[in-house]
Amino acid sequence: MNRETLFNAALLLGLIAVPAWAVIADEPFTITLATRAVILALAAAGLNIALGIGGLVSLGHAVFFGIGGYAMGILAYHAQSYSSLMDWPLVIEGTKSMPVIWIVAMIVSALAALVIGVLSLRTTGAYFIMITLAFGQMFYYFAISWSAYGGEDGMSIYVRNDFPGLNTLVPIQFYGLCLVVLLLVLLLSARLRRAPFGLALDSAQAVGLDPMRLKLVAFVISGVITGLAGALYADLNRFVSPTMFSWQLSGELMVLVILGGVGRLFGPVAGAVAFVALEHFLGGLTEFWHIFLGLILLAVVMFARGGLTGLIAGRELRHD
Amino acid sequence: MTDPVLATHGISKSFGALKASSDISITLRPGEIHAIIGPNGAGKSTLIGQICGALTPDAGRVELMGRDVTALTPAQRARAGLGRTFQISALAMEDTVLENAILGALGASARPWRFWASALGDKSLRQRAEAALERVGLADARAKRCADLSHGERRQLEVALALTLSPRAFVMDEPMAGLGAAGSKEMTGFLDGLRQQAPILLVEHDMDAVFALADRISVLVYGTVIASGSVAEIRSDPEVRAAYLGDPA
């Protein structure tokens, strides 16, 4: 076992031990914090596929996060108000079922990623960043002006959605669900980067593969995962608003990935845990905690290019 | 005479007022090394770019084994049998030698759409990759990280990558660049044997290597081929000496 494996195992153990302690000590707020960390880690794990494996610096991943959020919000809103989403040509009702909401969130995110990807992957570097940012802003202002679904104020969903066999209102059960989703996505990421697809993403045209299509598919997979995280995030807060589409959120996701270690399997998890912990503890001390986050990020970028994972586990060892 | 494997027919390319290629027709025949030489700015890179597909000629066409490939992308040309190595290393530095070679084999298979099974575990990819490494003499270095290779070894690995595609013709852009005297000599010997596998269109500044290897040489000056012929013919061509080779050695 190398140091990175140990580091990852320690993180994973913490994600199990801390909430378990919180259940025993009856500290539901700690579980909520941990759930927030896990969902943000999931969103960042999505971005890490585009950024870490595909080398695509997307400053528009809030689009998918927001789409996931609004997929949940819109479907649950119609279910709680007993109105139908659409009457013609076929009747579509709202739903409170998480699996259905997730599937819708993922499909819509995939379509959005496909369109955004086709248009923005023609460019590279700063232009790619700007185009993805521009798409994010388009969705943001659209959500603000979409008065049918709360406009600027967003929407509250009164009861958390259902998952078969679970009582999602019990914090630890919802946490467990989110953790399982995160672990499945991390497993997929780990396989993906070693599979022909992941290897080919590194490739040059020299070997006769079309890098555009590979990058596009990576971008879509990335968007789908971040979209799923958005649906869970909305369910955690039982609230959806245009801020889920904001460029600050895109930036935050990128901060999580860089803080944790770009391209490292557990980087997004390390980044999200550190972010939520800082937000909670520093945020309790001062309103201006972002200043300290900024300093930490600066230190990470300047002195520890592998992020927290690189700092603790050393340079990447990808080979057994 | 045998049909050429690779041929350009009157290709021209201008960047604004600058004519980087004007009406260039060259051929590459089976089993030969055809060297392209010329001073800096003569348009060698532009010519290679058009042959490999990074640039589209304004006029003329590029043929690979008699088939017009002018409209194909670089990736399609590579799959059609054009093996290329780069002036700037195109390897994935963080990956191992074997992984890089497997990447090449992956390109040959044209099936990157597998998301779950490990690429290293794929038998057919692995065999192809290992055969290519064997061929260039890197089989023992397969577990090394590419970043830890010497400059010469990286050049060999690039050739291995090109070999996994079973190319019908090689285009090599300065394979000797950055190699020391010993490295150049070794590379020269290696390329000498490689021409049997597929002919090589060689762009190179190292004149010792060019004169040792080339069956034919074409001299490019200001976007035009001013001379083309055997090593002896080029060495004695007065126009070439004036334009490029300088005073008699």
Chain B environment of A319 (Cβ under 8 Å): 96, 143
Can you name the residues that pair with B203 across neighbouring β-strands?
A: B36, B173
Say whether residue B74 is in contact with chain A using an 8 A CB cutoff: yes
A317 band by pLDDT with thresholds 50, 70 and 90: low
Co-location of B77 and B171 in the same domain:
yes
Domain definitions of chain A by residue range: 3-313
Co-location of B190 and B207 in the same domain:
yes
pTM of the model: 0.82
- Considering B134, B149, B164, which residue would you say is the last residue of a domain? B164
Average pLDDT over residues B133-156: 85
Co-location of B112 and B227 in the same domain:
no
Say whether residue B2 is in contact with chain A using an 8 A CB cutoff: no
Tell me the CATH number at B199. Answer: 3.40.50.300
Say whether residue A315 is in contact with chain B using an 8 A CB cutoff: no
Q: Does the beta-carbon distance from A195 to B164 stay under 8 Å?
A: no
Query: How far does B150 lie from chain A, in Å, by closest CA?
Result: 20
Co-location of B172 and B97 in the same domain:
no
pLDDT in tens, A267-296: 999 999 999 999 999 988 888 888 988 998
Q: Does the beta-carbon distance from A206 to B86 stay under 8 Å?
A: yes
**Spatial separation of the C-alpha atoms in residues B89 and B155, rounded to whole Å:** 8
Chain A environment of B111 (Cβ under 8 Å): 196
Six-digit token string for A264: 């490292």
Range of the domain at B147: 92-164
* B243 is a domain residue: yes
What fold is seen in the domain A3-313? ABC transporter involved in vitamin B12 uptake, BtuC (1.10.3470)
Co-location of B115 and B155 in the same domain:
yes
pLDDT in tens, A210-248: 788 889 999 999 999 999 999 999 999 999 999 999 999
A2 compared with A148, residue with greater pLDDT? A148
B94 band by pLDDT with thresholds 50, 70 and 90: confident
Which pairing describes strands B33-37 and B18-24: parallel, antiparallel, or unpaired? Answer: unpaired
* B86 is a domain residue: no
A27 compared with B92, residue with greater pLDDT? A27
Average pLDDT over residues B151-162: 84
- Burial of B14: CB neighbours in 10 Å, binned 0-12, 13-18, 19+: middle
pLDDT for residue B80: 86
Say whether residue A202 is in contact with chain B using an 8 A CB cutoff: yes
Co-location of B158 and B173 in the same domain:
no
Assess whether pLDDT exceeds 80 at residue B86.
Answer: no
Strands (DSSP E) along chain A, which ranges? 84-86, 92-93, 155-156, 239-240
Assess whether pLDDT exceeds 50 at residue A320.
Answer: no
Cβ atoms of A52 and A257 within 8 Å: the answer is: yes
Co-location of B64 and B172 in the same domain:
yes
pLDDT in tens, A189-212: 999 988 888 888 866 555 667 788
Query: How far does A217 lie from chain B, in Å, by closest CA?
Result: 9
Residue with tokens 């999931």, as numbered in its chain = A42
Co-location of B154 and B175 in the same domain:
no
Co-location of B143 and B186 in the same domain:
no
C-alpha distances in Å from residue A169, one per residue of A172, A178, A303: 9, 13, 43
* B87 is a domain residue: no
Number of separate domains in chain B: 2
Chain B environment of A197 (Cβ under 8 Å): 112-115
Which residue from A minimizes the CA distance to B167? A207
Which pairing describes strands B67-68 and B6-15: parallel, antiparallel, or unpaired? Answer: unpaired
pLDDT for residue A273: 96
Co-location of B199 and B249 in the same domain:
yes
Say whether residue A204 is in contact with chain B using an 8 A CB cutoff: yes
Co-location of B176 and B64 in the same domain:
yes
Q: Does the beta-carbon distance from A206 to B99 stay under 8 Å?
A: no
- B224 Cβ neighbours under 8 A, 6+ residues apart: B22, B23, B24
Chain A environment of B103 (Cβ under 8 Å): 199-200, 202-203, 207
Q: Predicted ipTM?
A: 0.70
Can you name the residues that pair with B34 across neighbouring β-strands?
A: B201, B216
Chain A environment of B113 (Cβ under 8 Å): 196-197, 217
**Spatial separation of the C-alpha atoms in residues A147 and B97, rounded to whole Å:** 57
